Structures are given as structure tokens and as C-alpha cells.
Amino acid sequence: MSCKIRFFAGVAEAIGHREYRIELPAATTIGELLDNLQREFPQAADLLARSFFSINQEYVDASAVVSDGDEIAVIPPVSGGSGANSRFAVTTEPLSADAVIQQVSNPYAGAILTFVGTVREFTQGQRTIHLEYEAYPEMAVKKMAEIAFEIEEKWPGAEVAMVHRLGKLEIEEASVIIAVATPHRAASFEAGRYAIERLKQIVPIWKKEVWEDGSEWKGHQQGPWNPMTNPLE
């Protein structure tokens, strides 16, 4: 059977491909596919072992069975969105907080919390020249919508919008904007924090930090990354 594999961020750089077509025996599992890829691309074996896999834009574990025609993606640890009128988007265009707020503004909202993530110049003493963001766009938007659903379940009446910038960003530019509208202000603070932390956990967006003396793809910086669990619950 024939399947397409998509690679992103550091995995794509290590392997030297963004897409890769592979022929597999019937009933191949993700675990077996991982073994195959590590043999095929030994230079990326360690990073592949630390990555997660998705099938048709859903995270899966090693026991998942691949079917003919599936789109498989290798998701390296994320750092943690298309269309200006969508509540959930990734874009290469500069971000507008006003535009995101308009997506959630409604007569029942007593508060709208807006989170804006920006590019800072210094991180632990290292001077950043610029950042470069990359995403698995279709899956990123889908996972943003899932976060909004989780929030609406936890905080009834909440309305959520989020957009993430891709490409090269200079110092002080906005990389992500999240707006959460709720009937009462306490819920907006709680839901807004949930949204940004959850985005870092499950949305496949990667950040390359370009410093004065080099660059590095950055993953989750708050402990082991596992998009198949929700430590916020």
C-alpha cells in the first residue's frame, strides 16, 4: 500500500524532505513505520523517536494501523494557525488584535480577554535576531478549533478566536493572538490562560530561534511534550 508522509521543522531539516511517499505492507503499525524511518534516515533517528505521529490529522499511538492512502505526519516537539475571517487561522500576514477581538465580540460578553504573544530580544541571556515559525496548517487549525470546544465545555458561553503568524518575525512583532469572550471577567482570565497553554501542547506549530551565534528549533519548554494528554485537567 502507498502512503504519504509529511515532515516538519527539525525533522524535515534532518531528513532532507518535506514529503515522502512510502510503500508499506498491509496492516503496518505506526511503531513499525517508525522503525522503518529510523533505518532509512539514521541521522534523524533520535528526533523521530521523540516525535509523535498523526494519521489524517489525528494524533495516534504506536499501535495505530496505517491504511492505504493515509496521510501520515511526523510531529516533532512543538513550541507553542488560513484566512483573515476565520476564528482559527495560521497566516504569514501581520496580526491584528482588533480583528481577532471582532471575531468573538457579542452582546452577551461582559469581558473579552486578549493575549498577544510577541517576539522578545533576549532569552536567558541570549540575544535573538529573529524567529521563524512553521506549521502543519490544516492540522493546526483543526486543533485550535478543538481547544475552543474544550473551553466552551468548561466555561459555558465562552467564544474563542486564535490566529498564529508563520514565517520570519522580527523583534516585537506579534506571533500569536488569542481572544476569549465570556459573560464574566473571571472566566475570561481562566479560559485565556487555558487557551495559550493548550495551544502550546497540541497545535503543531514550531519555532526556530535565530541567535547571534546560531539557531535552534524550540520545543515545549515546560516539561516532556505529549499532545495526547491534557495536564491542565
Lowest mean pLDDT among 38-52, 66-80, 122-136: 66-80
All structural domains of the chain: 2-75 (3.10.20.30), 88-218 (3.90.1170.40)
Asked if pLDDT for residue 215 goes beyond 70, the answer is no
Give pLDDT, residue 96: 93
Lowest mean pLDDT among 30-39, 43-52, 53-62, 110-119: 43-52
Nearest C-alpha neighbor of 77 from the set 48, 41, 38 = 48
Task: Report pLDDT digits (tens) over 38-59.
Answer: 999 988 888 898 888 999 999 9
Percent of the chain past pLDDT 90, that is, above it, reads 61
H/E run at residue 98: helix 97-104
Q: Mean per-residue pLDDT for 116-133?
A: 88
User: How far are the Cα atoms of 3, 116, 221 from residue 122, in angstroms, in the given order?
Assistant: 42, 18, 16
